[in-house]
Chain A
Amino acid sequence: AQKVTQAQTEISVVEKEDVTLDCVYETRDTTYYLFWYKQPPSGELVFLIRRNSFDEQNEISGRYSWNFQKSTSSFNFTITASQVVDSAVYFCALSERRTTDSWGKFQFGAGTQVVVTP
């Protein structure tokens, strides 16, 4: 069963527009972590942010912000004032304590392609 769902396959925006990426997860654990990764065309997945299940405070870091809502099992990610360099595939990932402490396994979503045009 899919534990992490990224329903948006591709999002295209013009530079300076905001982009919000949706992520819905499923878990029975009470302790878990959520991550966002960026994969530029060069191929390497780059870790961006993480949030633990006990902290629903939303944060902003530069042009990035995230909205974690436990009640709807969502962990959405927003890029404000997008730039061409933001063009990449973005992955949401779930780390459940039950499996991660022992094995380190993550559950990844299918990814959302973001295309920012000048």
Chain B
Amino acid sequence: DVKVTQSSRYLVKRTGEKVFLECVQDMDHENMFWYRQDPGLGLRLIYFSYDVKMKEKGDIPEGYSVSREKKERFSLILESASTNQTSMYLCASRRQGISNQPQHFGDGTRLSIL
């Protein structure tokens, strides 16, 4: 089974802090994704990566950056956290090249910015 592990289930940070959310997958997947989930808005794609060191902006990249130095790890960075970034963050990975491959998700990180 695919295992996608997010470093924290719950995280509380202060406004202005630099925040790192880590995601690791164990299936050698090429594609990795960061979403945020807010009530009534569904899943919104922040950034994604289709290979090591490759990254693309999703639908809501403002205020975020990402890093993918190794294939198994995809980090989401909040450069200067703000209260409107309080949300549920979900990481996913997927094998590239075959359209029928599902995305596999981690447990999510509930981030609160005070």
Contact = CB atoms under 8 A, between A and B. Distances in A.
Real complex partners, A and B?
A: yes
Contact of B40 (A96, A103, A110): A110
B105 to A, nearest CB: 4
A100 B50 contact: no
Given A44-B107, A50-B100, A105 B42 contact: no
B56 A104 contact: no
A32 B99 contact: yes
Contacts of B88: 43
B102 A47 contact: yes
A52 B100 contact: yes
Given A47-B102, A95-B100, A110-B41, A104 B50 contact: yes
A103 B94 CA distance: 10
Contact of B99 (A47, A101, A108, A110): A101
A102 B42 contact: no
